[in-house]
């Protein structure tokens, strides 16, 4: 409001200046039409002055423009003397100015896209290693009391008898298993037949069923067998039937600690012949493992083996006695040494065939072996080299080659925990291919 009051005077002055000009123009026009007498002219001048004074007062009070209508001069009749005419001045009261109410427009929200935040990479200062000096430990000097001599009377250790030492030693293998590691490395998993094997075991009932069948790649013969076994408390009974119409039954039971017997009988469904064999095994002490097998036929044959071992060294002997002729028909001797890395094995069969083999574990999962066989009167010895590599815990690869130009390859894996697969092939003297699937449940 103060600003309006300060700006009002210039406009009032301008309007005030315009009003006398208008009045003069009206007066001039009236004078041009008719010249009033001098008395009337003086009265008109006074009226105009009063009107101007009143207009000035009103203009000062009201900042708005005041419009004053100048009355036209009426002609005075000639008959009557002119009387001063007092014109009524109509003052129009100008209403107070009304402040216009202007509705403020709705605020326009300006959407300002915020700039993408700039990631400031601040390099962390290198950590300052504070070196704290540890004070040197103060050695407390404690005076030790005078040592007290304690005389301990050591009781003599109980003497270990030979029997206890023998029993503490590991039981050696039987004669047929001496040097088995090298034989498995060279011969196992190399086959020339397509084979399928299914084994089902029930721990609750103790029954085990094994069905096996195969086709020879070279000869085309088909072989199959069905084996059913029941295991009781320390004893077992099994029965097997094969495609040769041969039924075999085996009963195994322990007689005493370290002594067990096997009774095996066979019966042919074709010609009705049968046979029976009694096998005994004694391996109570840790130095000796012996077997005695008796063929209970019309001409009994007694087979005896004995194997001893101590500190990694072992030796064995095997012989057969024909009871009818009362003579020995075979003498075989073997010896060797065995530890965690090396296995040396040598054997002599019937004083005519010499066998030597060595097996070396190069590292975990890698094994190499060699086997040499020489027959007296033969031309050259047969040398076989073999190796096995374990790819992982379930897969292994084996290769072998000999001086007879026989090359063999074997791949064994476990497809699933209960399914095993073996693929082998051999070249030399005719290519041979074998596949074996082993199912266990």
- Stretch 85-93: mean pLDDT: 43
Residue 204 pLDDT: 86
- Same domain, yes or no, for 183 and 51? no
Across the chain, mean pLDDT equals: 74
Of 333, 345, 398, 388, give the one whose Cα is nearest residue 180: 345
pLDDT value of position 103: 53
Q: What is the pLDDT of residue 72?
A: 46
> What is the pLDDT at residue 193?
83
Alpha-carbon distance 364 to 193, whole Å? 31
Ramachandran assignment for 205, one of left (phi > 0), alpha (psi -120 to 50 degrees), beta (any other): alpha
| Domain range for 293 | 169-440
Through-space distance between the first and last CA atoms of the chain, rounded to whole angstroms: 107
**One domain for residues 317 and 225:** yes
Asked whether residue 210 falls in the same domain as residue 326, the answer is yes
At 168, give phi and psi (nearest 5°).
Answer: -75, -25
Task: Find the CATH number of the domain harbouring 188.
Answer: 2.40.160.10
Q: Is 134 within the bounds of a domain?
A: no
Whether residue 316 is predicted with pLDDT greater than 50 in this model: the reply is yes
Specify whether the CB–CB gap between 319 and 304 falls below 8 A: yes
Say yes or no: 174 and 74 in one domain.
no
Please indicate, yes or no, whether residues 224 and 309 belong to a single structural domain of this protein: yes
Indicate whether 119 belongs to any domain: no
Kindly report which listed range (74-78, 224-228, 400-404) carries the lowest average pLDDT score. Answer: 74-78
Of 278 and 2, more confident: 278
For residue 428, being part of any structural domain is answered with yes
Structure confidence at residue 154 (pLDDT): 45
Give the predicted TM-score (pTM) of the model: 0.56
Domain boundary among 65, 96, 127: 96
3-state SS, one letter per residue, for the chain: CHHHHHHHHHHHHHHHHHHHHHHHHHHHHHHHHCCCCHHHHHHHHHHHHHHHHHHHHHHHHCCCCCCCCCCCCCCCCCCCCCCCCCCCCCCCCCCCCCCCCCCCCCCCCCCCCCCCCCCCCCCCCCCCCCCCCCCCCCCCCCCCCCCCCCCCCCCCCCCCCHHHHHHHCCCCCCHHHCCHHHHHHHHCCCCCEEEEEEEEECCCCCEEEEEEEEEECCCCCEEEEEEEEEECCCCEEEEEEECCCEEEEEEEEEEECCEEEEEEEEEECCCCCEEEEEEEEECCCCCEEEEEEEECCCCCEEEEEEEEEECCEEEEEEEEEECCCCEEEEEEEEEEEECCCEEEEEEEECCCEEEEEEEEEEECCEEEEEEEEEECCCCCCEEEEEEEEECCCCCEEEEEEECCCCEEEEEEEEEECCEEEEEEEEECCCCEEEEEEEEEC
Output the pLDDT for position 137. 54
State pLDDT tens for residues 24-68: 554 455 444 444 444 555 666 676 677 667 655 544 443 444 444
Per residue in 170-187, pLDDT (tens digit) is 567 889 899 888 889 988
- Mean pLDDT for 257-277 is 90
Within-domain flag for 130? no
Q: Which residue has the higher pLDDT, 101 or 194?
A: 194
User: Does 137 map to a domain?
Assistant: no
Asked if residue 134 has pLDDT above 80, the reply is: no
Same domain, 277 and 401: yes
Distance of alpha carbon 301 from its chain centroid, rounded? 62
Residues 210 and 353 reside in one and the same domain = yes
Tell me: do 215 and 297 sit in the same domain: yes
Neighbours of 267 (CB within 10 A): 14
Structure tokens given for 412: 């064994």
Same domain for 256 and 348, yes or no, is: yes
**C-alpha triplet 318, 320, 322: angle, nearest 5°:** 170
In a domain, 142, yes or no: no
Q: Report the number of distinct structural domains present in the chain.
A: 2
81 and 226 together in one domain: no
Q: Is residue 230 included in any domain, yes or no?
A: yes
Per-residue model confidence as pLDDT tens digits over 320-366: 998 888 888 889 999 999 998 989 999 999 888 999 999 999 999 99
Q: Is the pLDDT of residue 225 over 60?
A: yes
Say whether both 279 and 398 belong to one domain.
yes
Do 74 and 187 sit in the same domain of this protein? no
Cβ neighbours for 293, distance < 8 A, ≥ 6 positions apart: 277, 278, 279, 280, 302, 303, 304
Report residue 379's pLDDT band, with 50, 70 and 90 as the boundaries. confident
Q: When comparing pLDDT for 406 and 78, which is higher?
A: 406
Q: Which residue has the higher pLDDT, 20 or 206?
A: 206
The mean pLDDT of 225-254, rounded to a whole number, is: 92
Using DSSP bridges, classify how beta strands 288-295 and 327-338 pair: parallel, antiparallel or unpaired: unpaired
Of 73, 96, 119, the residue at which a domain comes to its end is 96
Residue 152 has pLDDT above 50, yes or no: no
pLDDT score for 122: 45
- Give the domain-ending residue among 66, 96, 126: 96
pLDDT tens for 42-54 read: 666 676 677 667 6
- Positive or negative torsion for Cα 31, 36, 40, 41: positive
**Residue 162, domain member (yes or no):** no
């Amino acid at each position: 409001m103060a600003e309006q009051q300060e700006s009002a005077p210039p406009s009032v002055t301008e309007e005030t200046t315009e009003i006398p000009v208008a009045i003069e123009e009206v007066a001039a026009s009236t004078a041009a039409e008719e010249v009033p007498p001098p008395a009337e002219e003086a009265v008109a001048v006074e009226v105009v002055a009063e009107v101007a004074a009143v207009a000035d007062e009103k203009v000062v009070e009201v900042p708005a423009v005041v419009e004053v209508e100048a009355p036209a001069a009426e002609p005075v009749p000639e008959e009557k003397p002119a009387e001063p005419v007092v014109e009524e001045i109509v003052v129009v009261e100008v209403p107070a100015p009304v402040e216009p109410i202007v509705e403020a427009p709705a605020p326009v929200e300006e959407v300002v896209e915020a700039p993408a935040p700039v990631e400031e990479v601040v390099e962390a200062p290198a950590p300052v290693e504070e070196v704290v000096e540890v004070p040197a430990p103060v050695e407390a000097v404690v005076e030790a009391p005078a040592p007290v001599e304690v005389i301990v009377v050591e009781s003599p250790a109980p003497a270990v008898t030979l029997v206890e030492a023998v029993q503490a030693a590991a039981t050696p293998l039987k004669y047929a298993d001496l040097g088995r590691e090298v034989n498995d490395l060279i011969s196992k998993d190399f086959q020339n037949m397509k084979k399928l094997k299914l084994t089902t075991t029930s721990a609750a009932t103790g029954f085990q069923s094994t069905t096996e069948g195969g086709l020879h790649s070279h000869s085309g013969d088909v072989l199959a067998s069905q084996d059913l076994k029941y295991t009781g408390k320390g004893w077992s009974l099994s029965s097997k039937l094969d495609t040769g119409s041969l039924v075999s039954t085996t009963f195994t039971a322990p007689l005493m600690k370290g002594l067990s017997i096997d009774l095996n009988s066979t019966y042919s469904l074709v010609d009705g012949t049968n046979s029976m064999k009694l096998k005994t095994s004694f391996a109570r002490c840790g130095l000796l493992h012996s077997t005695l097998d008796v063929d209970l036929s019309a001409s009994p044959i007694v087979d005896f083996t004995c194997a001893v071992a101590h500190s990694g060294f072992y030796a064995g002997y095997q012989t057969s006695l024909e009871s009818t002729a009362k003579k020995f028909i075979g003498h075989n001797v073997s010896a060797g040494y065995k530890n965690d890395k090396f296995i040396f094995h040598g054997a002599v069969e019937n004083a005519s065939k010499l066998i030597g083999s060595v097996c070396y574990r190069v590292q975990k999962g890698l094994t190499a072996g060699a086997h040499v066989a020489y027959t007296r009167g033969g031309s050259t010895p047969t040398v076989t080299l073999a190796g096995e590599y374990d790819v992982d815990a379930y897969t292994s690869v084996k290769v072998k080659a000999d001086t007879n130009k026989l090359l063999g390859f074997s791949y064994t894996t476990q497809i699933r925990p209960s399914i095993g697969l073996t693929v082998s092939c051999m070249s030399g003297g005719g290519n041979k291919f074998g596949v074996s699937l082993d199912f266990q449940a």
